[in-house]
Structure 1
Amino acid sequence: MRTSYRILYEGATGEITEKKSRFIANFRPVRSEAEALAFIEEMRKKYWDARHNCYAWIIGKKGEEKRCSDDGEPSQTAGKPMLDILEGEQIVNVCVVVTRYFGGTLLGTGGLVRAYSGAVKEGLKACKLLTVEPAKKIAVYTDYNGIGKIQYLLAQQEITTLDSQYTDKVELTILVPDEKIGKLNAEIREATSGKAEFLELEEVYYGILEKEVLLFSE
């Protein structure tokens, strides 16, 4: 069964300071280990003079791939706390690199955990996150007598119309969340006395960002 998931749609940067140490968190959407590694290398080159560039990533609809690194910090004080924040927010297809410029004062293990976690939280505030839902593209064919009834049903269920063509009949391409397909099909057939055709075309995922519908392939 396909389920919804949450992704990093647009990355950002956040920064905090702890006892004069700077912690800079950079986020980027990634869909593969290669993309994550390339981003980490890019951050290492950008912040070449920093003492540490710690990272964490989660990839896959169900978070199948996960990795983190303390990059020289004491074990479990950087990468794992960063990964814990991402998991707690249930975000996938995300990579974060936290760069530390040492300020001269040791923070201790607890202080490091709080600082790296805090930098990730700060960066997330500026990121754009998106919940992605399973849906199908559906073609609906109807005559002109049925179009008004169908449009009324679509509006009632807040169904997005992706395309419409008006010739000797009407063809609508609509985006229907998985859980609404059966009910909508039955209602359209009832409203048009079985005259409308309801054809499932393609499985997709979709998200809504600032009222814009975004489509994602499998």
Structure 2
Amino acid sequence: ELIVKKSRFSTFVFHTKNRAEAMIHLQTLRERYTDARHHCWAYLLGDPKAPTSVAMSDDGEPSGTAGKPMLNVMQHKDVGDIFIVVVRYFGGIKLGAGGLVRAYSTAVQSAYDEMQCQQVISLEPLRLSCAFDEEQKIRYLVDRYHGVIDDCSYSELVSMAISLPSLHSLSFKAELSHLRGTRISTSAPDESIKQT
């Protein structure tokens, strides 16, 4: 919460995967803080370096004085899938365009200073079959590429279900193809991509 010349700016941060989720959060805040004059917001969805969607709203503040400065702060952070709402109670003293930009920017920056983040890594599921004498090599590669062995079973071959960070998938598969004398096949199971 930030007080600027008797105006109160309360900032709310949500982990959000899509616009529909963001709008549900916004509606909840509008219903909870019905007497607030403004519910300004911005979101940045997807990878923060290459977002799939961004949007903002000044919600009645002068154009470009709330949503845009909020989004500007968000675009300089390394956090994606985020929705931020700043609820403003007007204190009776006008802040002017410059004052509003500073207030909304500061409100969002303060939220970043306090929030805790988690790194989300997309995992690609793979199934591997190999000879018994190749199992340790495969386990070594999975570990080296920060993967996880979800399941391992033994019959004529060793069958493994693994989850591998998507960004390492091509390199991992390339190394598998260079293992000599192996009977390794890779195929993605039908399940959807996991995340951790």
8 Å Cα contact 2:146-2:164 kept in structure 1: no
| Cα separation, 2, equivalents of 1:205 and 1:91 | 19
Q: What is the aligned partner in structure 1 of residue 19 from structure 2?
A: 33
1:98 Cα deviation from its structure 2 partner: 0.3
Is the contact made by 2:125 and 2:194 (CA closer than 8 Å) also made in structure 1? no
For 1:181, the equivalent position in structure 2 comes to 169
Report the equivalent of 2:76: 88
Q: 2:196 aligned with 1:196, yes or no?
A: no
Give the superposition deviation at 1:43. Answer: 0.7
Instruction: Report SS of the residue matched to 2:193.
Output: strand
Residue aligning to 1:143:
131
1:161 to 149, 172, 184: 149
Q: 1:120 aligns with which of 101, 104, 108?
A: 108
- How large is the Cα RMSD of the aligned pairs? 2.8
Match of 1:171 in 2: 159
State the SS of the aligned residue for 2:162: strand
Question: 1:44: which partner in 2?
Answer: 30
* Deviation of 1:128 (Å): 4.4
Partner of 1:96, secondary structure, is strand
Partner of 2:62: 74
TM-aligned CA deviation for residue 21 of structure 1: 2.2
Distance change (3 Å), C-alpha of 1:179 and 1:82: closer
For structure 2, list consecutive stretches of 5 or more residues without a partner in the other structure: none
Cα distance, 1:154–1:37 mapped onto 2, change above 3 Å:
closer
Q: What displacement does 1:132 show?
A: 4.7
Shift of 1:133: 4.9
Q: TM-score, normalised by structure 1?
A: 0.73
Q: TM-score, normalised by structure 2?
A: 0.80
Taking the aligned partners of 2:145 and 2:78, their CA distance within structure 1 comes to: 27
Secondary structure at 1:86's aligned position in 2? Answer: helix
Deviations 1:186-209 (A, max 9, x none): 433544622233334467364xxx
Higher alpha-carbon deviation: 41-50 or 117-126:
117-126
C-alpha distance in 2 between matches for 1:59 and 1:134: 15
Q: Which residue of 2 aligns with 1:16?
A: 2
CA 1:179–1:73: 2 relative to 1, 3 Å: closer
* Aligned length, in residue pairs: 193
Q: Would the aligned equivalents of 1:150 and 1:191 in 2 still touch at CA under 8 Å?
A: no
Report deviation, 1:37: 2.1
Distance 1:90-1:205 versus aligned 2 partners, 3 A rule: farther
State the 1:108 CA deviation.
Answer: 2.1
